[in-house]
Amino acid sequence: MDQESIVYGCIKDIAPTASESERIRVNREAMLSLPHADEWPFLSQEMFAIPSVSSPFFNYQTEVMHFGASYKAVEYEWDQWIAQFESLLSKMYWVSATVHLETELSGTHTFTWEANGSFHKPGSGNMRVRCEWSHEGSLGI
């Protein structure tokens, strides 16, 4: 049987006020710029819950953009997945991002990015993020 990997998580931003609705539009456009799943990218539009511009003031204090997908052993190409995810983050407004990677052979890994400052602004150059890695589980030998 093939090794399945599950990747899921969320990108968090400040819930925008009426004067900040540009944040949702920019983040939405970044996610819509991703290829479709039938093109077999690591990241696709279909794996994200893309925020609606028509009702931008839904969340209380935090705008939460969640995502998830199932892959065939993506951990062997994890550097490429991370590169694409960080490329997406570079185009978005966000405060923090968390990615969970569940693998059959090496357990669960959690990666966390936090903006250096109050939030990341697209086009601001180096993302200045802190990436943490944690691991749960072990091989049952």
Start-to-end CA distance of the chain, whole Å, equals 18
Q: What is the pLDDT of residue 133?
A: 62
Beta carbons within 8 Å of 13's beta carbon, 6+ residues apart: 23, 27, 62, 63, 65, 92, 93, 94, 95, 119
Are the C-beta atoms of 84 and 24 separated by less than 8 Å? no
Each residue of 72-122: pLDDT tens digit? 989 889 999 999 999 999 999 999 999 999 988 778 888 888 887 888 899
DSSP assignment of 81-114: HHHHHHHHHHTS-BSEEEEEEEETTTEEEEEEEE
Type of residue at 98? T
Distances (CA, A) of 60 to 24, 69, 123, 125: 14, 26, 27, 29
Are the C-beta atoms of 88 and 21 separated by less than 8 Å? no
Each residue of 119-136: pLDDT tens digit? 889 987 666 555 556 666
Beta carbons within 8 Å of 49's beta carbon, 6+ residues apart: 65, 66, 67
> Residue 71 — pLDDT band, cuts 50, 70, 90?
very high
Cα–Cα distance measured from residue 59 to residue 10, given in angstroms and rounded to the nearest whole number: 14
Overall residue count recorded for the chain in this entry:
141
